[in-house]
Amino acid sequence: MSFALAPFRFLGKMVVDGIENTGEICYILFRTVKVLPYARKNFNLIVKQMISIGVSSVPLLFVTSIFTGMVATIQAEFQFRNLVAAKFVGTAACKMVLIELGPLLTALVLAGRVGSALAAEIASMREKEEFDAYLVLGLDPYRYLAMPRFVAFFTMIPCLTIISNGLALFGGWIVCVLALDITTYSYYTGMQYLFNPMDLFSGIIKSFVFGVTIFLLGYYHGLHATAGARGVGLATKNVVVSSCLMILILDLAVAAIIFR
């Protein structure tokens, strides 16, 4: 009998855990948003995080974005060869990069780079009792630890997405000029053709959502890491896996809302 009930028990536990975790993530968001008015006063902490999350991610993004743009353009040209005019390669590259590839790849790359770093940092702080030290000194950890990181993730990921979009289109142009025999003029007019500002905005709106998601999951998994190196390792793995999954789900959800 108990064997027959096992799947239901497992399912029930999953549902309860899911509700519990969602509740806790909402609580982190609530506590962080509540201390947002202090952003101006603690602006130096925000700038520090912006540099660590944003500026230092640019080199990695530079490489991934240019190569993504190159591959997307080569693929577009290959698929459309002898079917449509060469200028549509620019149109396809532009649409792909602005709507999907730019925001999605930037978020996935940053989930691996800064999401895991956030979880490891918070886990290590918790283990070394730094959280308790803030409380004992009468300081709110949400104000000094969570809020600066939240603002940095919320602002830097859209900025990085815009940079990534630009770099990917630049990568596409390099391929067109050097390998595909498509002129700069053709590529440029192709990009303009069928361009809809909503393409760009939808990507940026998505990146705001992705930024908040990576922050919340990174902070949550850092807070719940078990002690020791294994605990930190597990937390970083969990944040990358859950962030990537959530990014893909939210990508679909936002796309469904915007492009209905």
Partner 1 sequence: MPNVKINPDDIMIRLRGLKKSFGSQTVLSDVNLDIRRGETMAIIGQSGVGKSVILKHMIGLLQPDEGEVSVDGVVISTPKFFDTHTIRRKMGMLFQMSALFDSMDTGENIAFALREHHPELTEAQIQQTVTDKLKMINLVPEFRTKMPSELSGGMRKRVALARAIALNPEILLYDEPTTGLDPITSDVINDLILDMQSKLGVTSVVVTHDMVSAFKVADRIAMLYKGRIIEVGTVEEIKNTSNPFVRQFITGQRKIEVEGTVPPPVAP
Residue pair 96/74 in contact by the 8 Å Cβ criterion? no
Closer of 139 and 248 to partner 1 (Cβ): 139
Closer of 48 and 224 to partner 1 (Cβ): 48
Closer of 166 and 231 to partner 1 (Cβ): 231
Shortest approach of partner 1 to residue 136 CB, angstroms?
Answer: 5
DSSP 51-91: HHHTGGGHHHHHHHHHHHHHHHHHHHHHHHTTTS-THHHHH
Shortest approach of partner 1 to residue 157 CB, angstroms?
Answer: 21
Shortest approach of partner 1 to residue 26 CB, angstroms?
Answer: 21
Closer of 132 and 181 to partner 1 (Cβ): 132
- Where does this chain bind partner 1 (CB under 8 A)? 48, 125, 128-130, 132-133, 135-139
Closer of 13 and 81 to partner 1 (Cβ): 13
Shortest approach of partner 1 to residue 123 CB, angstroms?
Answer: 13
Residue pair 73/93 in contact by the 8 Å Cβ criterion? yes
- Distance from C-alpha of 198 to C-alpha of 207, rounded to nearest angstrom: 14
Measured in Å, how far apart are the chain's first and last C-alpha atoms? 48
Closest CA to 214 of 154, 147, 125: 154
Residue pair 75/175 in contact by the 8 Å Cβ criterion? no
Closest CA to 174 of 98, 71, 57: 71
Shortest approach of partner 1 to residue 117 CB, angstroms?
Answer: 13
